[in-house]
Amino acid sequence: MKNIFKISHPLIEHKISILRDKNTDPFQFRMLIDEITYLLLFEASRDLELKSAKIDTPVATADGKKLSTKIMICPILRAALGMLDAVFKLIPAASVGFLGFQRNEETLDAEFFYAKLPSDYKQRTAYIIDPMFATGGTAIDAVKFLREKGVKDIKFISIIAAPDGLERFNKIYPDVEVYVAAIDKGLNEKGYIVPGLGDAGDRVFNTNS
């Protein structure tokens, strides 16, 4: 699958291992989500376009470069909110387009409930973020939603993925790049990634006590 990029780096592997640990507390969990997202976005943004810029340093004029691509980050509510700060650190000028999908616990399908995009979304490159790429259903629906709205350039960033979900996504959107930090064994009967890390939203927002 040419559009799936598993980013291998010792720091990512180390951080993912602590992230998975059920004894990792919410504070540390959020920090790790933030750090891993930062590293993934660094890789996923390698092909961003630049424009020349003259920069006056205190000494002389330098030939610099600045981003020319306009970016829209699309966090899928709610777990991806934990990834948003990392994006702002790396790309402060990014706009945010929220996408709300809720999992139907019986069918395990994603159900759309909310979107709030910036007004110039059609001119922007979209990075959809969601920490868990499980059945692929939400990812497919999110890309479909943006494509139908006219967004042309879309990438997806997830922390942990299941092979089935990636394959399902790849069959429908082989042209959309997906960046992940880990590809796990599979899914359990509840649609959770195995071994995964549990419910990412609950762990970010400490709602599983």
For residue 20, the minimal CB distance to ligand URA (Å) is 11
- 135 labelled ligand-binding: yes
Taking residues 116 to 135 in sequence order and writing x for each that binds ligand URA by CB under 6 A, - otherwise, the string is ----------------x-x-
Q: Is 193 in the site for ligand URA (CB under 6 A)?
A: yes
- 131 labelled ligand-binding: yes
Distance (Å) of CA 125 to CA 69, 142, 196: 7, 14, 29
CA nearest to 204, candidates 1, 29, 7:
29
Beta carbon nearer to ligand URA, 74 or 151: 74
For residue 86, the minimal CB distance to ligand URA (Å) is 18
Q: Sign of torsion, CA 58 53 126 36?
A: negative
For residue 149, the minimal CB distance to ligand URA (Å) is 25
Q: Is 19 helix (H, G, I), strand (E, B) or coil?
A: helix
- 138 labelled ligand-binding: yes
For residue 161, the minimal CB distance to ligand URA (Å) is 10
User: Counting Cβ atoms within 10 Å, is residue 10 exposed (0-12), middle (13-18) or buried (19+)?
Assistant: exposed
- 132 labelled ligand-binding: yes
User: Counting Cβ atoms within 10 Å, is residue 61 exposed (0-12), middle (13-18) or buried (19+)?
Assistant: exposed
Amino acid at 177: E
Beta bridge mates, 132: 160
Q: Which of 38, 42, 192, 205 binds ligand URA (CB under 6 A)?
A: 192
The DSSP output letter for 114 is E
Report the catalytic residues: 103, 107, 199, 202
Within 24-83, the residues that bind ligand URA by CB under 6 A are 79
Beta carbon nearer to ligand URA, 34 or 153: 34
Q: Would you tell me which residues interact with ligand URA (CB under 6 A)?
A: 79, 132, 134, 192-193, 196, 199-201
Q: Which residues are annotated as a binding site for uracil?
A: 193, 198-200
